[in-house]
Amino acid sequence: MSETTPEILLEETDTKGRYFLRGPNGEVAESTFSKLGEHRIIIDHTEVPDVFRGQGVGLRLVTRAVEDARAAGKKIIPLCPFANAQFKKHPEWADVLSK
């Protein structure tokens, strides 16, 4: 991937995780989550440093979580205000939204 579109990476433990990417000077944008059992995750925080603003980085992070949840048959509880707003803008994600 180029410097303008860094790869989204995933780090996780048994109970938590984060999707993140690094900027050219080490800046980190991330969306963190907690695991709620085997089949649900809670997106609890998304942070995008100013260097990434206006590039759709926050949306890319949440989209990756949606794609991974869909592939794994999991549901998402978007407690993070940004993630929650994105779910409202993307009705096509309804299949992974935890009711």
Domain annotation covers residue 55: yes
Domain annotation covers residue 51: yes
CATH code of residue 13: 3.40.630.30
Exposure class string for 58-96: b at 16+ Cβ within 10 A, else e: bbbbbbbbbebbeeeebbbbbebebbeebbeeeeebeeb
Domain range spanning residue 67? 9-96
Overall domain count for the chain? 1
Residue 85 has pLDDT above 70, yes or no: yes
pTM: 0.92
Taking residues 46-62, report their average pLDDT.
Answer: 95
Instruction: List the beta bridge partners of residue 41.
Output: 35, 76
Domain annotation covers residue 1: no
Domain annotation covers residue 4: no
Domain annotation covers residue 24: yes
Domain annotation covers residue 34: yes
pLDDT tens-digit series, residues 9-44: 999 999 999 999 999 899 999 999 999 999 999 999
Helices (H), the chain: 57-72, 81-89
Taking residues 81-91, report their average pLDDT.
Answer: 98
Rounded-to-integer distance, Cα 73 and Cα 91, Å: 18
Q: What is the pLDDT of residue 2?
A: 42
